[in-house]
Amino acid sequence: MSFASAEISSLIEKLEEDESSQQQEQQQSLPVKYFNQLIESFLDAGAAVKRKKRANQIYRDIADQRITLERAIKLLGKLSRNQKSGWFANKSNQD
């Protein structure tokens, strides 16, 4: 699979996930949203450090050819999505 097709599949995946996250947001009640935002604000600093370490490990894996570019794109995309606000609510909805 070429880099371009991996990038296209990554974009399609992002669009599908954005649509599903918008539907989930509309279904949550206001107290739940507030609670999730409160918890997220406390956990965000630690999560940022973990995301940075994970991203650096992915870049090292690319350099050492331990993972493919397609897999790296998916993993880095997931890290980027977790950086946006609402990552805690999304994570708690997946469990």
24/58 Cα distance (integer angstroms) = 29
CB 24 within 8 A of CB 36: no
CA distance 35 to 33: 5
Higher pLDDT, 66 or 30: 66
The parent domain of residue 80 ranges over 3-94
- Higher local confidence (pLDDT), 43 or 84: 43
Kindly report, residue by residue over 18-51, the tens digit of the pLDDT.
776 666 666 667 777 788 788 888 888 888 888 8
How many domains in the chain? Answer: 1
Mention every residue, 6+ apart, whose C-beta is less than 8 A from residue 26: none
